[in-house]
Amino acid sequence: MHVEEGEVFGFLGPNGAGKTTTVRMLACLVSRSSGTATIGGYEISNRADQQKIRKMIGLLTENVGLYEELSAYDNLDFYGRYYKMGERNRRERIQYLLEMLGLWDRRDARAGTFSKGMKQKLAIARALIHDPQVLFLDEPTANLDPEASKTIRDFILELKKENRTIFLNTHLLDEAERICDRVAILKTRVITIGSPQDLRRSLSGRKVKIQLQRVDDSMVESVRKLGHRIEDVTGNSFVVDLKEPEKENPAILRALQGAGGDVVFVTEAGSSLEDVYLKLMREV
C-alpha cells in the first residue's frame, strides 16, 4: 500500500478493524507485529527514524486529549514548545491556525469550556502546530453535529490544497467519498484500495439516470436500439448501463429527442461507496 504525497487517503473499516492501531503504528506509538512501513523514507520500527517521523507528522487522536484547564492558546503553545518551535514562530503559527479555524476570539478561554466541535478544531490545530508534511486524522468528525462536521471537512479540503498528505481514519463513508482521493477498505486486513469512483464502478459499472418530462415505451425503445441495457424505469426517469457515458450520452439524448422526449436531467447514477463497502464486508 502506497500513499502519494499530497493525497488524502481514507482508511475505512468497521469498529475493531484496526484503523486506530494502524495509525498508532504509523505514528510510532506502538510496535508493528509484522511487515514494514516507511514515512518519507523513514522506517517506523527504526529507533533513530522514529524521532524524524514524529517531527514530520501531525496526529489527531481519536480522543482529542486537550489540557482542559488551559486556554486554547496555551494548549497550542505547549505543543509548539514540544516541537522546539521558537517563541515568535509559535505565536504566528497559533494565530494563523486559530484564525483559520475561527477560534482566535476564544484563544484565552479554557479548552474545557469549548463545545465538542471547537475542541475538535483545537485538536486539529494542535496536530498542525509544527506544520507537518503528513497528517493523521483519526475519526475527525465522529460525534460532531452536521455543521461542525462540515467545517472540519472543509478545513481538511483546505489542507489538501496545501499539498499535505492526509491519512484519514473514518467509518463515515459519505465523508470518505467527499474528501478522499483514494480509500482502503479494511477488516483486520486491507480488502481493497482505489478511488471512491473506481470502487463504485467496480461493483456495478457506470450508470446514467435520465429524467424526462414524460416517459413512454418508444423513448425507452429508442435507447435500447442503441444497444444499451435499461435497468430501471421509475416514474418519468430510467437508469441506463453505460461503458463510457462521456461518449455515449450525446447519442442517447439525440435518440430520446427523436422519440419526442424532453430531457430534464442527466445524472451519473450507480452504487455508492456504501454499497461497495457493505458488499465487501459481507464477502469477507
Partner 1 sequence: MDIGNAWNVALKDFKIYTRKPSVIYATVALPLIVGAVFPLILDYSLHKSAKALSAARAPGLMDAFSIWFVIGAAVIPTAIASYSLVGEKMQKSLEPMLATPMSDGDILLGKTISALLLPVVALYAGSISYMALMDYFTRGTLGYYYYPNWHIGAILLAAPLAALLSVEVNVVISSRMTDVRSAQQTGVLFMLPFIGLFLASEVGLFVMNDTNLTILAGALAAISVGTFFVAKATFQREEILTRWR
Q: Is residue 64 near partner 1 by the rule CB under 8 A?
A: yes
- Least distance between partner 1 and beta carbon 189 (Å): 20
Q: Is residue 79 near partner 1 by the rule CB under 8 A?
A: yes
How far is 180 from 13, CA to CA, in rounded Å?
A: 14
Which of 101, 123, 156, 184 is the binder for partner 1 (CB under 8 A)? 123
How far is 110 from 185, CA to CA, in rounded Å?
A: 38
Of 78-86, 169-177, 255-263, 266-274, which segment contacts partner 1 by CB under 8 A? Answer: 78-86
Q: Is residue 128 near partner 1 by the rule CB under 8 A?
A: no
Q: Is residue 49 near partner 1 by the rule CB under 8 A?
A: no
Of 20-28, 32-40, 142-150, 271-279, which segment contacts partner 1 by CB under 8 A? Answer: 20-28
How far is 225 from 220, CA to CA, in rounded Å?
A: 9
* Ramachandran quadrant class, 142 (left: phi over 0; alpha: psi -120 to 50; beta: rest): beta
Q: Is residue 134 near partner 1 by the rule CB under 8 A?
A: no
- Least distance between partner 1 and beta carbon 248 (Å): 50
Which is nearer to partner 1, 119 or 206 (by Cβ)?
Answer: 119
Which of 3, 125, 127, 193 is the binder for partner 1 (CB under 8 A)? 127
- Least distance between partner 1 and beta carbon 54 (Å): 4
Q: Is residue 33 near partner 1 by the rule CB under 8 A?
A: no
- 137 forms beta bridges with 60, 168
Count the residues of the shown chain that bind partner 1, applying the rule CB under 8 A: 31
- Cα–Cα nearest to 40, from 53, 30, 28: 53
Q: Is residue 61 near partner 1 by the rule CB under 8 A?
A: yes
Q: Is residue 57 near partner 1 by the rule CB under 8 A?
A: yes
- Least distance between partner 1 and beta carbon 28 (Å): 8
Of 35-43, 67-75, 161-169, 202-210, which segment contacts partner 1 by CB under 8 A? Answer: 67-75
Which of 55, 178, 187, 209 is the binder for partner 1 (CB under 8 A)? 55
Residues that bind partner 1 (CB under 8 A): 24, 27-31, 51, 54-55, 57, 59, 61, 63-70, 74, 78-79, 81-84, 110, 123, 126-127
